[in-house]
Amino acid sequence: MKTIRYGVVGCGYFGGELARIVHSMEGAALSAVFGGRDAAELAEELGCEAEESLDRLVHRDDIDAVIVASPSHLHYEAAVKAARNGKHVFCEKPLALTLKDCEEMLEASRECGVTFMAGHIMHFMRGVKRVKEWIAAGEIGRPLVCHSERTGWEERQRVVSWKKNRMTSGGHLFHHIHELDLLQAIMGPAVSVSAAGGNLAHQGEGFGDEEDVLLLTLEFSDGRLGTMQYGSGFRWGEHYVKINGSEGAILLDMKHSRIQLKNRRGLLTEPLNYSEEEDAERALSYEKLDGGIVYGSPQTKLPGWLTTVMKLEMEALRDVLQGKPADGSYGSLFDGSAGRASIATAEAAMTALHERSWVGINHK
Protein backbone atom coordinates (compact mmCIF):
# COMPACT_ATOMS: atom_id res chain seq x y z
CA MET A 1 0.00 0.00 0.00
CA LYS A 2 1.49 3.30 -1.09
CA THR A 3 1.67 5.87 1.70
CA ILE A 4 0.06 9.20 0.72
CA ARG A 5 1.85 12.18 2.24
CA TYR A 6 -0.28 15.18 3.14
CA GLY A 7 0.01 18.86 3.84
CA VAL A 8 -2.84 20.71 5.54
CA VAL A 9 -3.73 24.36 4.87
CA GLY A 10 -5.84 25.79 7.68
CA CYS A 11 -5.33 24.59 11.24
CA GLY A 12 -8.61 25.55 12.84
CA TYR A 13 -11.61 23.52 13.99
CA PHE A 14 -11.95 21.34 10.88
CA GLY A 15 -8.41 21.55 9.56
CA GLY A 16 -6.93 20.47 12.85
CA GLU A 17 -9.12 17.37 13.00
CA LEU A 18 -8.43 16.46 9.38
CA ALA A 19 -4.72 16.69 10.16
CA ARG A 20 -5.16 14.35 13.14
CA ILE A 21 -7.12 11.88 11.01
CA VAL A 22 -4.55 11.58 8.21
CA HIS A 23 -1.76 11.46 10.80
CA SER A 24 -3.29 8.34 12.38
CA MET A 25 -4.72 6.73 9.23
CA GLU A 26 -3.17 3.64 7.67
CA GLY A 27 -1.56 4.41 4.33
CA ALA A 28 -1.21 8.11 5.13
CA ALA A 29 1.38 10.44 6.66
CA LEU A 30 1.26 14.10 7.65
CA SER A 31 4.30 16.08 6.49
CA ALA A 32 3.45 19.71 7.24
CA VAL A 33 0.71 22.17 8.18
CA PHE A 34 0.22 25.86 7.46
CA GLY A 35 -2.22 28.57 8.40
CA GLY A 36 -3.58 30.20 11.52
CA ARG A 37 -2.22 30.98 14.93
CA ASP A 38 -2.51 27.35 16.01
CA ALA A 39 -0.33 25.83 13.28
CA ALA A 40 2.80 25.57 15.43
CA GLU A 41 0.93 23.92 18.30
CA LEU A 42 -0.76 21.45 15.94
CA ALA A 43 2.57 20.60 14.30
CA GLU A 44 4.13 19.93 17.69
CA GLU A 45 1.20 17.72 18.70
CA LEU A 46 1.42 15.61 15.53
CA GLY A 47 5.16 15.59 15.05
CA CYS A 48 5.20 17.33 11.68
CA GLU A 49 6.53 20.69 10.45
CA ALA A 50 4.74 24.02 10.53
CA GLU A 51 5.44 25.89 7.31
CA GLU A 52 5.88 29.65 7.19
CA SER A 53 3.95 30.20 3.96
CA LEU A 54 1.56 28.56 1.53
CA ASP A 55 4.21 28.69 -1.19
CA ARG A 56 6.70 26.76 0.91
CA LEU A 57 4.13 24.09 1.73
CA VAL A 58 3.02 23.46 -1.87
CA HIS A 59 6.64 23.23 -3.06
CA ARG A 60 7.61 20.47 -0.61
CA ASP A 61 8.79 17.22 -2.18
CA ASP A 62 7.40 15.18 0.73
CA ILE A 63 3.78 16.17 0.08
CA ASP A 64 1.58 14.32 -2.42
CA ALA A 65 -1.77 15.90 -1.54
CA VAL A 66 -2.91 19.16 0.04
CA ILE A 67 -5.99 19.38 2.26
CA VAL A 68 -7.49 22.88 2.02
CA ALA A 69 -9.46 23.70 5.17
CA SER A 70 -8.85 27.43 5.44
CA PRO A 71 -11.62 30.07 5.54
CA SER A 72 -13.70 29.90 2.38
CA HIS A 73 -12.33 33.00 0.64
CA LEU A 74 -8.82 31.50 0.80
CA HIS A 75 -9.68 28.19 -0.91
CA TYR A 76 -8.98 29.42 -4.43
CA GLU A 77 -5.35 30.42 -3.92
CA ALA A 78 -4.43 27.29 -1.96
CA ALA A 79 -6.14 24.87 -4.36
CA VAL A 80 -4.70 26.44 -7.53
CA LYS A 81 -1.17 26.71 -6.16
CA ALA A 82 -1.27 23.12 -4.91
CA ALA A 83 -2.49 21.80 -8.28
CA ARG A 84 0.05 23.80 -10.26
CA ASN A 85 2.79 22.31 -8.10
CA GLY A 86 1.62 18.78 -8.88
CA LYS A 87 -0.24 18.15 -5.62
CA HIS A 88 -3.58 16.40 -5.40
CA VAL A 89 -6.22 18.60 -3.76
CA PHE A 90 -8.97 18.05 -1.22
CA CYS A 91 -10.95 21.25 -0.72
CA GLU A 92 -13.50 21.88 1.99
CA LYS A 93 -16.91 23.24 1.06
CA PRO A 94 -17.76 25.62 -0.45
CA LEU A 95 -15.08 25.13 -3.09
CA ALA A 96 -15.12 28.84 -3.93
CA LEU A 97 -17.22 31.96 -3.57
CA THR A 98 -17.71 32.51 -7.31
CA LEU A 99 -18.35 30.16 -10.21
CA LYS A 100 -15.38 31.67 -12.07
CA ASP A 101 -12.99 30.78 -9.25
CA CYS A 102 -14.50 27.30 -8.92
CA GLU A 103 -14.04 26.58 -12.62
CA GLU A 104 -10.45 27.82 -12.54
CA MET A 105 -9.66 25.56 -9.56
CA LEU A 106 -11.07 22.52 -11.34
CA GLU A 107 -9.36 23.42 -14.61
CA ALA A 108 -5.99 23.81 -12.87
CA SER A 109 -6.34 20.30 -11.48
CA ARG A 110 -7.29 18.85 -14.88
CA GLU A 111 -4.46 20.62 -16.69
CA CYS A 112 -1.90 19.44 -14.13
CA GLY A 113 -3.20 15.88 -14.03
CA VAL A 114 -3.96 15.82 -10.30
CA THR A 115 -6.98 14.54 -8.41
CA PHE A 116 -9.41 17.11 -6.98
CA MET A 117 -11.95 16.07 -4.34
CA ALA A 118 -14.77 18.29 -3.07
CA GLY A 119 -15.31 18.18 0.68
CA HIS A 120 -19.08 17.64 0.67
CA ILE A 121 -19.20 15.52 3.78
CA MET A 122 -22.94 14.78 3.83
CA HIS A 123 -22.38 12.12 1.16
CA PHE A 124 -20.60 10.00 3.79
CA MET A 125 -23.41 10.06 6.35
CA ARG A 126 -25.12 6.72 6.83
CA GLY A 127 -28.56 8.23 6.40
CA VAL A 128 -27.70 10.04 3.18
CA LYS A 129 -26.22 6.89 1.66
CA ARG A 130 -29.35 4.97 2.65
CA VAL A 131 -31.65 7.62 1.17
CA LYS A 132 -29.77 7.40 -2.13
CA GLU A 133 -30.22 3.60 -2.07
CA TRP A 134 -33.96 3.93 -1.47
CA ILE A 135 -34.35 6.35 -4.37
CA ALA A 136 -32.21 4.23 -6.71
CA ALA A 137 -34.34 1.19 -5.81
CA GLY A 138 -37.53 3.06 -6.74
CA GLU A 139 -38.95 3.09 -3.20
CA ILE A 140 -40.61 6.49 -3.72
CA GLY A 141 -41.00 6.29 -7.48
CA ARG A 142 -39.84 9.40 -9.32
CA PRO A 143 -38.75 12.28 -7.04
CA LEU A 144 -41.06 15.21 -7.81
CA VAL A 145 -40.64 17.90 -5.17
CA CYS A 146 -38.22 18.40 -2.30
CA HIS A 147 -37.90 20.79 0.61
CA SER A 148 -35.00 21.58 2.93
CA GLU A 149 -34.70 23.69 6.05
CA ARG A 150 -31.56 24.66 7.93
CA THR A 151 -32.69 27.39 10.27
CA GLY A 152 -32.14 28.69 13.77
CA TRP A 153 -31.46 31.81 15.77
CA GLU A 154 -28.17 33.44 16.63
CA GLU A 155 -27.44 35.90 19.41
CA ARG A 156 -25.00 38.79 19.28
CA GLN A 157 -21.38 37.64 19.16
CA ARG A 158 -18.53 39.09 21.20
CA VAL A 159 -16.21 38.56 18.22
CA VAL A 160 -17.73 38.36 14.74
CA SER A 161 -16.42 35.29 12.95
CA TRP A 162 -15.36 35.19 9.29
CA LYS A 163 -18.26 32.77 8.91
CA LYS A 164 -20.75 35.64 9.28
CA ASN A 165 -19.38 37.96 6.57
CA ARG A 166 -20.20 37.57 2.90
CA MET A 167 -16.72 38.52 1.70
CA THR A 168 -15.10 35.68 3.64
CA SER A 169 -17.79 32.98 3.87
CA GLY A 170 -20.07 33.80 0.95
CA GLY A 171 -22.95 34.15 3.38
CA HIS A 172 -25.27 31.57 4.88
CA LEU A 173 -26.08 29.80 1.61
CA PHE A 174 -22.45 29.23 0.63
CA HIS A 175 -21.29 28.33 4.12
CA HIS A 176 -24.12 25.81 4.56
CA ILE A 177 -24.07 24.53 0.99
CA HIS A 178 -24.59 20.90 2.05
CA GLU A 179 -28.34 20.75 1.47
CA LEU A 180 -28.10 22.57 -1.85
CA ASP A 181 -25.62 19.91 -2.93
CA LEU A 182 -27.80 17.08 -1.63
CA LEU A 183 -31.00 18.24 -3.35
CA GLN A 184 -29.16 18.38 -6.68
CA ALA A 185 -27.57 14.98 -6.07
CA ILE A 186 -31.11 13.59 -5.79
CA MET A 187 -33.04 15.72 -8.30
CA GLY A 188 -30.29 16.52 -10.79
CA PRO A 189 -28.88 20.01 -11.40
CA ALA A 190 -31.39 22.81 -10.93
CA VAL A 191 -32.10 24.75 -14.12
CA SER A 192 -33.35 28.00 -12.58
CA VAL A 193 -33.83 29.61 -9.18
CA SER A 194 -35.69 32.44 -7.49
CA ALA A 195 -34.97 33.80 -4.03
CA ALA A 196 -36.23 36.18 -1.38
CA GLY A 197 -34.61 37.20 1.87
CA GLY A 198 -32.43 39.72 3.62
CA ASN A 199 -30.79 40.60 6.90
CA LEU A 200 -33.91 41.07 9.00
CA ALA A 201 -32.75 40.78 12.61
CA HIS A 202 -28.93 40.69 12.84
CA GLN A 203 -27.62 44.17 12.11
CA GLY A 204 -25.09 46.32 13.92
CA GLU A 205 -22.26 45.59 16.31
CA GLY A 206 -21.79 41.92 17.14
CA PHE A 207 -23.24 40.68 13.84
CA GLY A 208 -21.94 40.10 10.36
CA ASP A 209 -23.44 41.35 7.11
CA GLU A 210 -24.88 38.13 5.67
CA GLU A 211 -28.57 37.54 5.00
CA ASP A 212 -30.20 35.90 8.02
CA VAL A 213 -33.27 34.78 6.06
CA LEU A 214 -33.06 33.07 2.65
CA LEU A 215 -36.06 31.50 0.89
CA LEU A 216 -35.24 29.68 -2.35
CA THR A 217 -37.34 28.03 -5.02
CA LEU A 218 -35.50 25.69 -7.39
CA GLU A 219 -36.78 24.43 -10.74
CA PHE A 220 -35.38 21.11 -11.93
CA SER A 221 -35.77 19.38 -15.29
CA ASP A 222 -39.28 18.49 -16.45
CA GLY A 223 -40.82 21.08 -14.12
CA ARG A 224 -39.95 19.31 -10.86
CA LEU A 225 -39.46 21.70 -7.92
CA GLY A 226 -37.58 22.25 -4.69
CA THR A 227 -37.74 24.83 -1.92
CA MET A 228 -35.24 25.76 0.77
CA GLN A 229 -35.19 27.86 3.93
CA TYR A 230 -31.83 28.94 5.33
CA GLY A 231 -30.66 31.36 7.94
CA SER A 232 -30.12 32.47 11.52
CA GLY A 233 -33.26 34.61 11.68
CA PHE A 234 -35.66 31.83 12.69
CA ARG A 235 -36.63 31.46 16.34
CA TRP A 236 -38.09 28.01 15.59
CA GLY A 237 -35.08 26.19 14.22
CA GLU A 238 -35.31 23.19 11.92
CA HIS A 239 -32.87 20.96 10.05
CA TYR A 240 -34.25 18.41 7.61
CA VAL A 241 -34.69 17.41 3.97
CA LYS A 242 -37.96 16.01 2.57
CA ILE A 243 -38.20 14.28 -0.81
CA ASN A 244 -41.68 13.58 -2.17
CA GLY A 245 -42.01 11.16 -5.06
CA SER A 246 -44.71 9.64 -7.23
CA GLU A 247 -44.91 6.51 -5.02
CA GLY A 248 -43.76 7.67 -1.57
CA ALA A 249 -41.71 10.12 0.45
CA ILE A 250 -38.49 10.35 2.48
CA LEU A 251 -37.59 12.45 5.51
CA LEU A 252 -33.92 13.02 6.34
CA ASP A 253 -34.27 14.42 9.87
CA MET A 254 -30.95 15.77 11.15
CA LYS A 255 -32.47 17.31 14.26
CA HIS A 256 -33.84 13.98 15.54
CA SER A 257 -31.11 11.77 14.03
CA ARG A 258 -33.35 9.58 11.91
CA ILE A 259 -34.40 8.87 8.34
CA GLN A 260 -37.91 7.78 7.40
CA LEU A 261 -39.35 6.14 4.30
CA LYS A 262 -43.10 6.22 3.68
CA ASN A 263 -44.66 4.27 0.81
CA ARG A 264 -47.39 1.69 0.17
CA ARG A 265 -45.72 -0.78 2.52
CA GLY A 266 -45.99 1.66 5.43
CA LEU A 267 -43.48 3.72 7.42
CA LEU A 268 -39.87 2.61 7.93
CA THR A 269 -37.58 4.46 10.37
CA GLU A 270 -33.81 3.99 10.48
CA PRO A 271 -30.92 5.77 12.27
CA LEU A 272 -29.16 8.72 10.67
CA ASN A 273 -25.69 7.93 11.97
CA TYR A 274 -23.55 4.83 12.41
CA SER A 275 -24.38 4.08 16.07
CA GLU A 276 -26.99 4.79 18.72
CA GLU A 277 -24.43 6.87 20.62
CA GLU A 278 -23.83 9.08 17.59
CA ASP A 279 -27.56 9.51 17.02
CA ALA A 280 -28.11 10.53 20.63
CA GLU A 281 -25.14 12.88 20.58
CA ARG A 282 -26.32 14.65 17.45
CA ALA A 283 -29.92 14.98 18.64
CA LEU A 284 -28.74 16.44 21.94
CA SER A 285 -26.57 19.02 20.18
CA TYR A 286 -29.63 20.75 18.74
CA GLU A 287 -30.82 21.67 22.21
CA LYS A 288 -27.93 24.13 22.29
CA LEU A 289 -27.19 24.71 18.61
CA ASP A 290 -30.73 25.00 17.23
CA GLY A 291 -29.55 25.19 13.63
CA GLY A 292 -26.96 27.92 14.15
CA ILE A 293 -23.30 27.93 13.20
CA VAL A 294 -20.74 25.95 15.19
CA TYR A 295 -17.94 28.17 16.48
CA GLY A 296 -15.36 25.55 17.24
CA SER A 297 -11.70 26.11 18.03
CA PRO A 298 -8.65 23.92 17.38
CA GLN A 299 -8.94 22.81 21.00
CA THR A 300 -12.64 21.88 20.71
CA LYS A 301 -13.34 18.17 20.58
CA LEU A 302 -15.50 17.37 17.58
CA PRO A 303 -18.60 15.20 18.12
CA GLY A 304 -18.23 11.51 17.41
CA TRP A 305 -20.76 11.44 14.55
CA LEU A 306 -18.75 14.12 12.74
CA THR A 307 -15.33 12.53 13.20
CA THR A 308 -16.77 9.24 11.89
CA VAL A 309 -17.81 10.76 8.56
CA MET A 310 -14.61 12.82 8.34
CA LYS A 311 -12.62 9.59 8.63
CA LEU A 312 -14.72 7.96 5.91
CA GLU A 313 -14.15 11.01 3.72
CA MET A 314 -10.37 10.89 4.19
CA GLU A 315 -10.32 7.13 3.57
CA ALA A 316 -12.16 7.66 0.28
CA LEU A 317 -9.58 10.25 -0.76
CA ARG A 318 -6.67 8.01 0.22
CA ASP A 319 -8.12 5.05 -1.67
CA VAL A 320 -8.47 7.05 -4.90
CA LEU A 321 -4.96 8.46 -4.56
CA GLN A 322 -3.69 4.91 -4.13
CA GLY A 323 -5.24 4.00 -7.46
CA LYS A 324 -8.58 2.49 -6.49
CA PRO A 325 -11.69 3.57 -8.43
CA ALA A 326 -13.98 5.96 -6.59
CA ASP A 327 -17.07 4.41 -5.05
CA GLY A 328 -19.96 5.09 -7.41
CA SER A 329 -21.87 7.16 -4.87
CA TYR A 330 -18.86 9.46 -4.48
CA GLY A 331 -18.04 9.91 -8.15
CA SER A 332 -19.44 13.44 -8.33
CA LEU A 333 -17.03 14.53 -5.58
CA PHE A 334 -14.05 13.59 -7.74
CA ASP A 335 -15.19 14.64 -11.23
CA GLY A 336 -15.96 18.22 -10.22
CA SER A 337 -19.69 18.02 -10.94
CA ALA A 338 -20.96 18.23 -7.34
CA GLY A 339 -18.75 21.13 -6.38
CA ARG A 340 -19.43 23.08 -9.55
CA ALA A 341 -23.20 22.51 -9.49
CA SER A 342 -23.44 23.74 -5.91
CA ILE A 343 -21.48 26.92 -6.57
CA ALA A 344 -23.32 27.62 -9.84
CA THR A 345 -26.70 27.31 -8.11
CA ALA A 346 -25.67 29.29 -5.03
CA GLU A 347 -24.31 32.11 -7.18
CA ALA A 348 -27.47 32.17 -9.30
CA ALA A 349 -29.62 32.21 -6.15
CA MET A 350 -27.84 35.28 -4.80
CA THR A 351 -28.23 36.99 -8.17
CA ALA A 352 -31.94 36.14 -8.11
CA LEU A 353 -32.21 37.59 -4.61
CA HIS A 354 -30.76 40.93 -5.64
CA GLU A 355 -32.50 41.10 -9.03
CA ARG A 356 -35.82 39.85 -7.64
CA SER A 357 -36.29 37.53 -10.60
CA TRP A 358 -35.91 33.96 -11.79
CA VAL A 359 -32.33 33.30 -12.88
CA GLY A 360 -31.13 30.50 -15.14
CA ILE A 361 -28.27 28.38 -13.84
CA ASN A 362 -25.08 27.91 -15.85
CA HIS A 363 -24.43 24.15 -15.90
CA LYS A 364 -22.04 23.01 -18.59
pLDDT tens readout for residues 248-307: 999 999 999 999 999 999 999 999 999 999 999 999 888 766 555 666 666 678 899 999
Task: Check whether residue 12 and residue 129 sit in a common domain.
Answer: no
What is the H or E stretch that residue 350 is in?
A: helix 337-355
Q: Tell me, what amino acid is at 206?
A: G
Please indicate whether residue 233 or residue 300 has the higher confidence score (pLDDT): 233
Q: What is the CATH number of the domain that holds 340?
A: 3.30.360.10
Q: Is the pLDDT of residue 229 over 60?
A: yes
Residues 104-128 have a mean pLDDT of 98
Domain-terminating residue out of 119, 135, 153: 119
Q: Which domain holds residue 81?
A: 4-119
320 inside domain: no
Q: Note whether 141 and 235 are same-domain residues.
A: yes
Say how many C-beta atoms besides its own lie within 10 A of residue 201's C-beta: 15
Is the same domain home to 51 and 183?
no
DSSP result, 37-93: TTHHHHHHHHT-EE-S-HHHHHT-TT-SEEEE-S-GGGHHHHHHHHHHTT-EEEEES
Q: State the Cα–Cα distance between residues 286 and 290, nearest whole angstrom.
A: 5
Residues 164 and 216 placed together within one structural domain of the fold:
yes
Asked if residue 306 belongs to a domain, the reply is: no
Alpha carbon 224 to its chain's center: 24
Q: How many domains is the chain partitioned into structurally?
A: 2
Chosen domain end from 119, 140, 171: 119
For 163-174, how does the pLDDT look when each residue is reduced to its tens digit (9 = 90+)? 999 999 999 999
| pLDDT for position 109 | 98
Considering 119, 147, 181, which residue would you say is the last residue of a domain?
119
Give me the CATH number covering residue 97.
3.40.50.720
Domain identity same for 252 and 272 = yes
Q: In this structure, are 293 and 241 located in the same domain?
A: yes
